[in-house]
Amino acid sequence: MPSRQQLDQLVQRNRYNTQAWLDLLKQTIATGVDQDVRDVFQRFTDVFPTAGVHWAKWATYEFDKGHYDDVVSLFTKSLDTVYSVDLYRFYLDYVTKMHTTEMGLIASPESYNTIAQAYEFALGRVGLDRRAGAIWTKYLAFLASQEPQSQWEEQKKLDQLRAAYQRAIMVPTDQLLQIWKDYDTFENTTNRHTAKAILLKFSAGYMTARSADRNLVSLFEKIKAHQPTGGLACPPTWSARDASYLKAWKDYIAWEKSNPLTLEPPELIQRVNYAYRQALLVLRFYPELWIEAALYMMEVEDKDGAVKLLKQATEVLPER
């Protein structure tokens, strides 16, 4: 493998040499020299600002070193623009650790509320993602971990858990089957007499989500088959591979627009917008996708959103 100096020269000659960047990051992290690691991560994220998994790696490095202020600074820079499951999973782990005692107990009622709010924030950003199953599962486990001090608190816990389960089983994620099994157990443990009726009421929505998840697996396998090294956003060369990659993302977006989950308009629009957002994380240098996303927003009467998106496009694509 080339030395760090050689790799540095490679990325200076070609800022989109993804393999050289990944090797440079790996070698620099291995040195454990904080300033060198920060410098390379900073340069890397300047070139690939939407690479969520690498923002998470940088934050993890700083956390492991005990640099908590730096972790918060990285969240400030990335969470609002990079809707990445990897990044949000680390964010939730961070918030939980910072509000948990060495014995593994939540420090206070205020800490409990902070963690709960962090989960709701994360689910509001990436909860629709197929890979968000682990976030839903951890949130459900967190709600179940409460220790009520009164009958009123016990009922509140059950109501919160039931509501969270009923949201989670309607989202096609990679852990949907297990979440449904856990929900079945929850209802039968809570009240066997009412469980059957409640589960029957939500079973059709769950089955629709499960069917949709099977389609999502196929759609994302096609996307993965054509993605560039590391899934990093690079200007297209308009090769056959680039065309196939763009088509795979468009197929996914078209599938969402077909409303396979039979959603009402607000929820459908949310899923389609999320699909465009995910596509633009990796296809940020494809002008037609920005235009298509803006046109969709106009179609659903979100003029402000369309204007904001096009403004962002001019910043990303100043010469395209």
Question: Is the torsion defined by CA of 231, 237, 241, 242 positive or negative?
Answer: positive
Structural domains of the chain, with CATH:
227-320 (1.25.40)
Structure tokens at 317: 């694509």
Cβ contact 146:157 at 8 Å: yes
Walk along the chain (320 residues) and give the pLDDT tens digit of each residue.
899 999 999 999 999 999 999 999 999 999 999 999 999 999 999 999 999 999 999 999 999 999 999 999 999 999 999 999 999 999 999 999 999 988 888 879 999 999 999 999 999 999 999 999 999 999 999 999 988 889 999 999 999 999 999 999 999 999 999 999 999 999 999 999 999 999 999 999 999 999 999 999 999 999 999 998 889 999 999 999 999 999 999 999 999 999 999 999 999 999 999 999 999 999 999 999 999 999 999 999 999 999 999 999 999 997 65
Question: What is the residue type of 10?
Answer: L
Tokens of 145: 């971990």
- For residues 120 and 251, give the distance between their C-alpha atoms in angstroms, rounded to a whole number: 30
Alpha helix segments (H runs only) across 230-302: 240-257, 265-282, 287-299
Instruction: State the amino acid at position 220 in one-letter form.
Output: F
Residue 320 pLDDT: 53
Specify the pTM: 0.95
Give dist(CA 25, CA 11) in Å, integer.
11
CA 263 to chain centre: 21
- For residue 25, count other CB atoms closer than 10 A to its CB: 20
